[in-house]
Amino acid sequence: MLEESGVAQPILQRTKGRPRNPQPGNRLHILLPDSLLKRLEDIQAATHAASLTEVVKNALILYAAAIEEHRAGGHLYLKRPGDAADRQLALFI
């Protein structure tokens, strides 16, 4: 394609599908039952996450931290306001 200046400009090819992500990474495709998808959407709304991907990434970060603590001999506990006792979080590993 020639511009008015007479200099040839490259023709940009259109690609199919989504534009490439500028950050390197891997893509994971998972099939979820409707009930689990609903739970993820509820978490997304409650946490104001930008996407379901963000919800899943944050969940993996939390799970990795729990596993690391478990490997180090620690335990995770949950405590609600007004409850007298803590509840230990069970990790199935």
What pLDDT score does 3 carry?
58
* pLDDT over 90, % of the chain: 54
Instruction: Read off the DSSP letter of residue 87.
Output: E
Q: 18: Cβ–Cβ under 8 A, 6 or more apart, which residues?
A: none
**Rounded average pLDDT over 26-55:** 94
What is the per-residue pLDDT across 30-42, written as a single tens digit (0 to 9) for each?
A: 999 999 999 999 9
What pLDDT score does 25 carry?
78
Burial of 55 (0-12, 13-18, 19+ CB in 10 A): buried
Q: What span, in angstroms and rounded, lies between the C-alpha atoms of 34 and 80?
A: 29
Where residue 89 falls among pLDDT bands split at 50, 70, 90?
A: confident
pTM metric for this prediction = 0.67
